[in-house]
Structure 1
Amino acid sequence: MAEDDISGDAEGEAPAKKSKLPMIIGLVLALAGAGGGFFAVSSGLILGTDMPMENETEEEPILVEPLNGISFIALDPLVINLRQNSRAAHLRFVAHLEVGQEYEADVMLLMPRVLDVLNNYLRAVDLEDLERPGALVQLRAQMLRRVQIVTGDGRVNDLLVSEFVLN
C-alpha cells in the first residue's frame, strides 16, 4: 500500500517547472552588451573615423602652393574608322597633354609624331576592348606610355582624355 500512495501522488501532481532566471539573465546581458557596443561605435572608441566631431574645433586649413610650371597642350581631335563588321563605325577621341612649361615647345615640335602614335594605337585596339567598362583606364595608361616614349622621359606628365565617343 505504501507503493500505491507514492505512485498516486506522482501521477496527480504536475511536473516541476523550470526556472526562467537563466533566460532573464541572458536577456539582460544581451541588452547591456548591445548598448555598450552602440556606445563604443558611436563615440568612436571602435571603428573610429578621422572626421572631427561637431564639438571639436576645426584646425587651420592647410595652405597649398599654387601650381606653377605646368601647362596643357590640346591634341587635335582624332576620328578613327573602326572595322567594317563592327557595330560602331567611328571613335572620336579628344585629349590634352600635361607637360612642364619648360618642355612645352619640345612637345609641340613632336606633336605630329604624338598624333601618329595615338592614331596607330587606337586603330589596332579591338572593339571589345573599347567597350569594356574599365577599358578607358587601361587605354589611357597605354597611350600615355607611348607618348612618353615618343617625347622622352619626364616631358609629359599625364594624358587627360576629354572625349571618348563610339558611334
Structure 2
Amino acid sequence: MSDLADTPEAAAPAATGGKKLPLLLGLVGAAALGGGMFYAVYTGLLLPPSQKPPAAPRAASDFSFVPIEVITISLPPQSGARFLRFAGQIEVAETSFQDMLRMKPRFIDLINTYLHAVDIEDLRQPAALIRLRAQVLRRLQMIAGEGHIRDFLITEFILD
C-alpha cells in the first residue's frame, strides 16, 4: 500500500491543486484592486472632478461664417494634376464677426501660403483633408486670437 502512495501518479492530483491556488489568489486580488480603484476614481477620492462647468451646447445664433472664396493654385507639371481648387468657411463667434470679416484678407493670405507649402503627395493621402483642416484651423486661431474662431470647414477641394 505504501508503495502506491510513493508513485508519481498518486502525487499528481495534489500538485495540480497547489498550482491553481496562486492563480486563484491573483485573480481575486486583481478584482479587488480593480474594484477599489474604480470606487476611488468614481467617488473623486483619487482624481477629483475638474472645476470647469460642462460646455453648454451652441445655440444656432451665437456664431457666423466668414466665407473664403475659391482659391486656385497652379501645380507643377510633375505633380500629375494641373491645379488645386480650394474654398472654405470660417466659423467665428457672433460677437467677433465684424472683426474677423476685416481680417479676411489676412486669412486668405494664410490659407494661400499654406497650400503652396504643402507637398502634393501629402494632399493625395486618405487623411489629407483632416490634417489640412486641423493645420489651417490652428493657424487661423493663432492670428485671430483666442476665442474668436471656432472651426474651419472645407467646402471645396479639387485636385485636377
Partners of 2:74 and 2:63 in 1: how far apart? 33
Shift of 1:93: 0.4
Shift of 1:80: 0.9
Relative to structure 1, is the Cα distance of residues 65 and 109 closer, same or farther in structure 2, using a 3 angstrom cutoff?
closer
Q: Which digits, 9 at most, give the CA deviation of each residue in 1:123-147, with x for residues without a partner?
A: 0101100000111100100000111
* CA radius of gyration, larger in: 1
Higher mean C-alpha deviation, range 91-100 or range 67-76: 67-76
Instruction: Give the match for residue 21 of structure 1.
Output: none
Instruction: Give the match for residue 162 of structure 1.
Output: 155
Relative to structure 1, is the Cα distance of residues 86 and 111 closer, same or farther in structure 2, using a 3 angstrom cutoff?
same
- What count of residue pairs does the alignment treat as equivalent? 104
Q: Which digits, 9 at most, give the CA deviation of each residue in 1:77-127, with x for residues without a partner?
A: 100112232101110001001011110011111111110010000001011
Using structure 2 for the length normalisation, give the TM-score: 0.62
Q: Aligned-residue CA RMSD in angstroms? A: 1.4
Shift of 1:76: 1.6
Using structure 1 for the length normalisation, give the TM-score: 0.59
Partners of 2:132 and 2:96 in 1: how far apart? 24
Percent identical pairs in the alignment equals 40
| Structure 1 residues 71-110: aligned runs within 5 Å | 71-110=64-103
Instruction: Give the match for residue 113 of structure 1.
Output: 106
> Which structure is higher in helix share?
2
Gaps of 5+ in 1: 1-63
Gaps of 5+ in 2: 1-56
Partners of 1:65 and 1:132 in 2: how far apart? 32
Shift of 1:66: 4.2
State the AA in 2 paired with 1:104. F
Partners of 1:128 and 1:70 in 2: how far apart? 35
State the AA in 2 paired with 1:115. I
Q: Which digits, 9 at most, give the CA deviation of each residue in 1:48-71, with x for residues without a partner?
A: xxxxxxxxxxxxxxxx88422111
Relative to structure 1, is the Cα distance of residues 160 and 129 closer, same or farther in structure 2, using a 3 angstrom cutoff?
same
| Structure 1 residues 7-156: aligned runs within 5 Å | 66-156=59-149
State the AA in 2 paired with 1:157. R
